[in-house]
Structure 1
Amino acid sequence: MPSQPARRPRFPWAGRNYRIQTAATVISGLGNAGAPIATAFAVMDSGGSTTEVGYVTAARLVPVVLLLMVGGALADRLPRHHVMVAANLFNALSQAVLAALVLSGHVQLWQLMLLSAAGGAGHAFYAPASEGMIMQSVSTEHAGRAFSVFRMALNSAQIGGMALGGALTAAVGPGWVLALDAGCFLVAACLRFLLEAEAAPTAGAGPGMLRDLREGWQEFASRRWLWVIVLQFAVLMACITAVDAVYGPIVAKEQLGGAGDWGLALAAHGIGLVVTGLVMVRWQPRRILLVGNYGVFLFGLPALALAVAAPLPVLVAVMFLSGAGVTVFGVNWMIALQQEIPAEMFSRVSAYDQLGSLSLAPVGTALAGPAADALGLSGALWACAVLCLLLSAVVLLEPQVRQLSRRAARPAEAAVPTGTEATAVR
Structure 2
Amino acid sequence: MSSQQEQEPRGPFGWADRNYRIQTAATVVSGLGNAGAPIATAFAVLESGGNTTNVGYVTAARLVPLVLLLLVGGTLADRLPRHRVMVAANLFNALSQLTLATLVLTGGVRLWQLALLAAAGGAGQAFYGPAAEGLLMQTVPKESAATAFSVFRMAQNGAQIGGAALGGALVAAVGPGWVLGIDALAYAAAAGLRFLLRVPAAQAGPDRSSLVHELREGWREFVGRRWLWAVVLQFSVVMTCITAVEAVYGPVIAQQRLGGARSWGVAMAAFGVGLLSTGLLMARWQPRRLLLVGNYGVFLFALPGLALALHAPLAPVCGAMFASGAGVTVFGVNWMIALQQEIPTELMSRVSAYDALGSLALTPVGTALAGPAADALGLDGATWTCAAVTLLLAAAAPVVPEVRRLSRTAAAPSPVRETVAAG
TM range (shorter): 0.7 to 0.9
Contact 1:305–1:314 (Cα < 8 Å) also in 2: yes
Structure 2: distance between partners of 1:334 and 1:7: 23
Task: Name the CA shift for 1:401/1:93 in 2 (closer, same or farther; >3 Å).
Answer: same
User: Which secondary structure does the structure 1 equivalent of 2:198 belong to?
Assistant: coil
In 1, Cα distance between equivalents of 2:108 and 2:377: 42
* Counterparts in 2 of 1:242 and 1:68: CA distance versus 1, 3 Å: same
Question: SS at the partner of 2:409?
Answer: coil
Query: Who is 2:94 aligned against?
Result: 92
Normalised to the residue count of structure 1, the TM-score between the two structures is 0.86
Q: Pick one of 156, 161, 164 that aligns with 1:162.
A: 164
Secondary structure, in 3 states, of the residue corresponding to 2:201?
Answer: coil
CA deviation map 1:388-423 (0-9, x unaligned): 22211221111111111112222x449968xx8x66
Cα 1:102–1:147 change in 2 (3 A) is same
Q: Measure the CA separation in 2 of the matches of 1:138 and 1:113.
A: 37
- Cα distance in 2 for residues equivalent to 1:146 and 1:280: 10
Structure 1's 122 and 230: CA in aligned 2 closer, same or farther, altered over 3 A? same
The AA in structure 1 aligned to 2:403 is V
8 Å contact 1:249–1:258 — kept in the other structure? no
Give the drift of 1:235: 1.0
Conserved 8 A contact 2:168-2:266: no
Q: Secondary structure at the match of 2:13?
A: coil
> Judging changes above 3 Å, is the alpha-carbon distance between structure 1 residues 137 and 415 closer, same or farther for their aligned structure 2 residues?
closer
Describe the SS at the equivalent of 1:334. helix
Letter of the 1:287 counterpart: R
Q: Does residue 119 in structure 1 map to residue 135 in structure 2? A: no
Give the TM-score taking structure 2 as reference length. Answer: 0.87
Measure how far apart 1:263 and its partner are.
5.0
Match of 2:4 in 1: none
Q: Structure 1 residues 388, 347: closer, same or farther in 2, change over 3 A? A: same
Question: Does the CA contact (< 8 Å) of 1:73 and 1:213 recur in 2?
Answer: yes
Asked if 1:49 corresponds to 2:50, the answer is yes
| Aligned partner (choices 392, 396, 399) of residue 397 of structure 1 | 399
Deviation at 1:178, TM superposition (A): 3.0
3-state SS, counterpart of residue 205 of structure 1: coil
Residue in structure 1 matched with residue 291 of structure 2 by the alignment? 289
The equivalent of 1:268 in structure 2 is: 270
Deviates more, 1:181-190 or 1:341-350: 181-190
Distance 1:95 1:250 in 2: 23
Task: Name whichever of 266-275 and 285-294 sits farther off.
Answer: 266-275
Q: 1:319 to 1:53 in 2, by over 3 A?
A: closer
- Where does residue 213 of structure 1 map in the other structure? 215
- 1:286-313: per-residue Cα shift (whole Å, max 9, x none)? 1111110111122223333444455655
Shift of 1:369: 4.5
Distance in 2 separating the partners of 1:251 and 1:165? 18
C-alpha separation in 2, matches of 1:113 and 1:372: 20
Stretch of structure 1 that moved more, 355-364 or 342-351:
355-364
Distance 1:158 1:402 in 2: 31
CA–CA separation in structure 2 for the residues paired with 1:117 and 1:381: 25
Q: Does the 8 Å CA contact 1:141/1:414 hold for their aligned counterparts? A: no
Q: Distance in 1 between matches of 2:293 and 2:110?
A: 48
Moved more, 137-146 or 114-123: 114-123
Identity in percent: 68
Q: Distance in 2 between matches of 1:369 and 1:379?
A: 12
Structure 2 vs 1, CA of residues 143 and 164 (structure 1 numbering), >3 Å: closer, same or farther? same
Q: For residues 31-61 of structure 1, what are the alpha-carbon distances to aligned partners after superposition, in whole Å with 9 as ceiling and x for unaligned? A: 222233334455556x442355544433322
Matching residue within 308, 330, 333 for 1:331: 333
Which deviates the most, 89-98 or 16-25? 89-98
Amino acid at match of 2:234: Q
Distance (whole Å) between structure 2 residues aligned to residue 55 and residue 378 of structure 1: 20
Structure 2 counterpart of 1:3: none
1:280 to 271, 279, 282: 282
Q: For residue 10 of structure 1, what is the aligned residue in structure 2?
A: 12
Give the match for residue 149 of structure 1: 151
> How many residues are treated as equivalent by the alignment?
413
Return 5+ residue gaps in structure 2 as ranges. Answer: 1-7
Q: How does 1:235-246 map to 2 (within 5 A)?
A: 235-246=237-248
Write the deviation string for residues 111-136 of structure 1: whole angstroms up to 9, x where unpaired.
44333322221111111101111111
Alpha-carbon contact 1:202-1:344 (below 8 Å) kept: no
Alignment of 1:74 onto 2:81 = no
CA RMSD in angstroms comes to 3.0
> Is contact 1:137-1:423 (8 Å) kept?
no
Query: Quick one: distance in 2 between partners of 1:111 and 1:104?
Result: 13
- 1:5-26 per-position Cα deviation (integer Å, ceiling 9, x unaligned): x883331221111000010011
In structure 2, how many angstroms separate the alpha carbons of the residues matched to 1:143 and 1:94?
A: 35
Gaps spanning 5+ residues in structure 1: where?
1-5
The answer as to whether partners of 1:76 and 1:202 remain within 8 angstroms in 2 is no
SS in 2 for 1:200: helix
